[in-house]
Structure 1
Amino acid sequence: MSLTHSTKVTEPAVATRRRRYRPGSVEILGALLLVGIVFRGPLADLFAAPGMGTWATTFVSICVQAVPFLVLGTVVSGAIAAFVPASLFKKILPERAGLAVPVAGAAGALLPGCECGSIPIANRLMDRGVRPSAALAFLLSAPAINPVVLVATAVAFSSDLRMVWARLIAGLATAVIVGLIWERIGKPEWLTPRRSLAPEGQDARGFGVFLSTVRADFTQAAGFLVLGAIVAASFKVFVPNVWMEHVGSSLALSVVLMAVLAFMLALCSEADAFVVASFSTIPMVGKLVFLTVGPAVDVKLAALQAGTFGRRFAVRFAPLTMLVAVTVGLGVGLVFWGGSLV
């Protein structure tokens, strides 16, 4: 009797544990290649049109320029996640918030990492006793001002290298200002960081962690790069030049547009400079706002932060970061390139 009852209970439980098949990135890529092979004739005719030829050229050029930096960034980020113990950060950070926040922000310039990778690092720092304001300053600065990002920016804006210095100053200032504000207004109940899955007192490290981190970061970042390249190429071809010239003629409109695009596109910071550089009608101040907002706050980061630190944190931290990033990017841009909002 008990055996029959056990079977009735177990079978539905086993059925509910069965996972539905979800295609991975390799399967999706294979399907796209198959579609390209089957419909190569119609696709060739489509891209033979003058407008689509320009679209394809813009799309490919952005991807080709950005991919090497994307690979380098994910490799360095994976090495940090696998071989640098999180306890090192606590040892080098001062105890006082007034010093810890700027030092943590400056550390982002030395330790490359993508936006997604900086969130678990910040979580690990808090898990090791680092004050939240300092961990959050590092979270914002690491993807914005690390060496890989700055070199990529120099390549993308080789005609005006002031963008490199402007991005460095704006990214660091955003991280420090947000960290100091959070030190003053942040409440413990707003922040509920997810506990680390690593054994107590240890860091998850090793070559296996390195490979899995690089694979996951590159797969995710490459997808957003392709999306960004598609949007940039589409803007160049399908949006009338009159519209873009109108937006570009107004600094206020360009700042708003670039801030919204940076939030929605969610590009990887190693590749965003190549995308925004293609918007030829947008003034440099607007482009700097894009490069300041993107690594700090976007739709993807808001979701990841809510999952890692809690929804109460995300609904407060994201608007604060957006406000500071836009203000700082605009201010630094006006110092470097001048201009007026009216």
Structure 2
Amino acid sequence: MTTLSPFKILPLLLPTAFLIILGVLWLPHHLELLDNAYIDTFKTAFIGILLEALPFVLAGALLSSLLQVFVPDEMISRWIPRRPVPAILFACLLGILFPVCECGMIPLVRRLIHKGMPLYVAIVFILAGPILNPVVYGATLTAFRSHPELAHARMGLAFSVSCIIGLIIYATVKKSPIRLSVQRESEDTHHRSTRGGRLASVFVHTSDEFFEMGKYLIIGCLLTSAIQTFMVRDSLIAIGDKPLGSYLFMMGLAFILSLCSTSDAFVASTFLHTFPAGSLLAFMVLGPMLDFKNSLMLLALFKTKFALYLFFLIFSGVFIGAVLVSVWL
């Protein structure tokens, strides 16, 4: 009989504890928020975010399954350059070839790692893939049609941060941070794939990946919808007047809202006359790299220590890079 590790259930316990504390301590003093208008707004936001993200999770799970069944392990290893710099550039190129949203990136990368992709290359693909693709570039250019330099800066900052973090991971992480439960699950899936034919294996593996990642997606959508519905917006202008506060606020907002990388530029453009351009850039780069939904998925894939290390690298890299680029903007 297998035991459930505390680290495995941590991503589920934290949001549950947050909701319990919210319901017991805060909600009784704000009963007006239970008005039908707020409830309707919450339901609309939840369904909108979930429906926006689910197709990309399904697409990532399906691509992962096709890789598992039809692509030999040695082929992945043969494609990836041996030297770190060309391998990192190759990972950035994959984002153009496979324009998968961050919601569907984790299931795909899980399979790529098991197929032989080095960890640092997989991390670069996770970070760069949701931003460095033609769909996101076009959406950003459309949202900031009067400020096209923001679209160019977003691509450049995402590329730079991804490459630097990839090099840091290559230099500092020598042992595999993949959870043992995920490794065993991959082995079990491989054994099942030998029965029932390749087509049946694709459907079985797709459903496994989809439901594994879907539970974290739903939790993230619930919390994101609650914050979008009940967040006070009156002090935005006051925050925008403080340079450091505007960066931290917009990065925190990107993490909480968990918007799709194809739509977050349109949200950022609404703050164009309230916040500095650098903080908007930080919003558009941090969100696809690290938001509430994919942080739960990353915690499910990687060991907690490595996941927290990666979170720190992403946050600090985006913050420093956005401040430096704001001088040019």
Unaligned runs of 5+ in 2: 1-34
**Corresponding residue number in structure 2 for 1:254:** 246
Among candidates 102, 111, 116, match of residue 124 of structure 1: 111
TM-score, normalising length: structure 1: 0.66
For 2:177 and 2:204, how far apart are their aligned partners in 1?
34
Unaligned runs of 5+ in 1: 1-44, 338-342
Q: Is 2:108 the partner of 1:114? A: no
What is the CA RMSD across the aligned residues, in angstroms?
4.0
**Corresponding residue number in structure 1 for 2:64:** 81
**Corresponding residue number in structure 2 for 1:199:** 190
TM-score, normalising length: structure 2: 0.68
**Corresponding residue number in structure 1 for 2:287:** 294
Q: Which moved more, 1:318-327 or 1:111-120?
A: 111-120
The residue correspondences of 1:24-173 to structure 2 (distance < 5 A) are 73=56, 77=60, 80-84=63-67, 87=73, 89-173=76-160
For 1:149 and 1:283, how far apart are their aligned partners in 2?
21
For 2:82 and 2:270, how far apart are their aligned partners in 1?
44
What's the offset of the Cα at 1:100? 0.8
Among candidates 151, 170, 177, match of residue 183 of structure 1: 170
- Aligned pair count reads 282
Query: Which amino acid letter does the alignment assign opposite residue 323 of structure 2?
Result: L
Structure ID, larger Rg: 1
**Corresponding residue number in structure 2 for 1:35:** none
The residue correspondences of 1:211-290 to structure 2 (distance < 5 A) are 238-240=232-234, 243-280=235-272, 281-290=274-283
What's the offset of the Cα at 1:254? 1.0
Residues 166 and 332 of structure 1 are in contact (CA less than 8 Å); yes or no, is this contact kept in structure 2? yes
Q: Give CA deviations for 1:272-301 in whole Å, capped at 9, x if unaligned.
A: 223322234122211110111111123333
Residues 191 and 312 of structure 1 are in contact (CA less than 8 Å); yes or no, is this contact kept in structure 2? no
Query: Which amino acid letter does the alignment assign opposite residue 332 of structure 1?
Result: V
Taking only the aligned residue pairs, the percentage that are identical comes to: 25
For 2:225 and 2:276, how far apart are their aligned partners in 1?
19
Secondary structure of the residue aligned to 1:95 is: coil
**Corresponding residue number in structure 1 for 2:32:** none
For 2:212 and 2:264, how far apart are their aligned partners in 1?
19
For 1:153 and 1:75, how far apart are their aligned partners in 2?
24
